[in-house]
Structure 1
Amino acid sequence: MTRKNRAHTQKTIADALGVSVATVSLALRNSHLIQASTRERVLNYAREVGYLQNRAATSLRTGRTRIMGVGFHDIVHPFFSSMLAAIEARLSSEGEAIFVNSHDDSLERQGRFVASLQEHGADGLIISPARGSTEQDLDAFRRSGGAVVLIVRSIPETTLDYVVNDDPECMRLATSHLLKLGHTKILMLGGKPGTSTADGRYQGFVRAMGEAGLNPSRNAWIDGPSKRLEAFATVKALWESEGEKPTAFACFNDLVAFGAMSALTELGLKVGRDVAVVGIDDTDEAQVSSPPLTTVTNNAQIIGRTAVDILRRRQADPEAPPIQEELKPYISIRRSCGASG
């Protein structure tokens, strides 16, 4: 019988290599508390013999399953893809198994995901909550011992941990820049009312307009679009309708801005000259779009890494006060607004 056909445990690996079980355990977790040469020796031997860690047994010993849930409302959006990459890199390097969910703002789908995590005894959940979520939707998971960190969106008056962008400031920066360029006929385009992100950005839009002595009506926010195709159709329909047209769009995110720019170009208008466009997210595509998009940086990877840090702090001290962080944005000026920088 070859070594690969045997059932191996951390103890059999330790005996074979002449090290302690603790050393094997640390090596399998890529811990830097042991020498690199020892760590590599253990990892190489474990791969050679086909060792697979028994998570159920580990859970019985430690009280942790090392399972984490990550949930977004739109996982295909580049902003969330970048965030997920940052979260996955941090968690997987520490040996966590990750369950991923894209609930598409469905409370039912979100609820099934959270219940499944609870059934598997997951240790933590990092989630951008579905529109209409309440703290009670996550209470059962938290009472079962799971740590919860909200990202991107928060919940009104929540006692849960979260890390979000300063959404009012994101849109205030975008709108104020357009106002400084002389625009007064500005529309906010996109976002779903009832989410902390969209509502916060509308607050920032109204604040910037108010600081300029303007008093926009609710009609100055064309809500709904959050993706490129939706924004394209909305702008085309706006130009085909009666009434005065805007000279600038403060867009909910970069995808909405890209859709708006495509529609304006098809309508025969020059972006940056006839109509200015500003986005929020600063995705990679913003730098190479035509024209390059002026946009507010939205800290996707920083949010992801910070969420994991907060999760670890909550696991270390379940009774600590809520850890609630807002990240400050900044604007990158490019040609879509008519300014060169």
Structure 2
Amino acid sequence: MELKIDESILKAYGLTHQNIHIQQIGSGHINGTYLLTKQTTAEKFVLQYINTNVFTHPQAIADNIQAVADFLKQQFPAYLFPAPTLTVGGENMAVCEGAYWRLSPFVDGTVALDTLSSPKQAYEAARQFAKLSRLLNDFDSSNLKATIDGFHDLQLRFSQFQVALAQTSEKLKSQASEEIQAAIDHQHILTTYQEIRQQLPDRVMHHDTKISNVLLDKNTYEGVCVIDLDTLMPGKFISDLGDMMRTYLCEFSENETDLSKIVIREEYFSAMIKGYLSEMGDILTSAEKKVILFSGKYMMYMQALRFLTDFLNGSIYYPIHHPGQNLDRTKNQFKLLSDLVNKEEELQQLIDANL
């Protein structure tokens, strides 16, 4: 649903409805995103509404981005980090009737893809997310706040699944019986996570590394910069790399119901690993290097749990187009996880070749 942009929001940035053209853009479900173009100069900006139902600490988002932007500007001034534009009053967000908005520069000559169509794109995207991690290696992540509490805490997600399972109807439990058993059968992934999490250092992580959150040159598809920084907060490297594995390696998204199509593309895996390790290979600790492939299992399992939990709860979180969609998504993610496990030996060889 398109949100009305109040004149006071534009005024906060020295703009009016009379001197700009507004176009809704973006494919995300969480925040409303608009392209603003000045009619006189053709200068472009991205205006985004922050969904406070999901991001209950909007000021934490703004503070985190500002802290990282200040660090990068001082330490790596040539790095392109599209931090929000300040309001005329010097604030990093505009607030109107309890709603939070931010304005960011539009990076011309770039494209944000919804799907990957070549290993080169996987390489470039992974390299950009890894580059941000590398540049922030000396930034104290404890200075940042959690913008979504427990976002990638697998223990929390499993506990939420257990609560949903205990409270759901017999009908939904019956429909999801195979997926419930799969969630229990894969609990060893949770055990491994509990064993290794303290061995992995806290880093500044993006936490949402899908392909649409990196800008590529629209002609060459070379990486330009990372965008959508709402979940920029402390975390483990397995969050970012694992999410890349979950979203880059299969040709089809989690909404695909033909499970025969849900397979790992090894050439994309190879390209992604090369891109990531080209920036982070010398930064990762020995403990981190040992669990590179595990990061994919961790994120695929967690997303399967989240879809399954939502299904058992009556599909109240993820937008759906038919009643069983979250169960279909669960099946999809468990199939992706299964294919990763089946190809584990050859995928590990590709990792070893790049370390």
Regarding TM over 0.5, the answer is no
Q: TM-score, normalised by structure 2?
A: 0.26
Q: Which has the higher contact order (CA 8 A, sep 6+)?
A: 2
Q: TM-score, normalised by structure 1?
A: 0.27
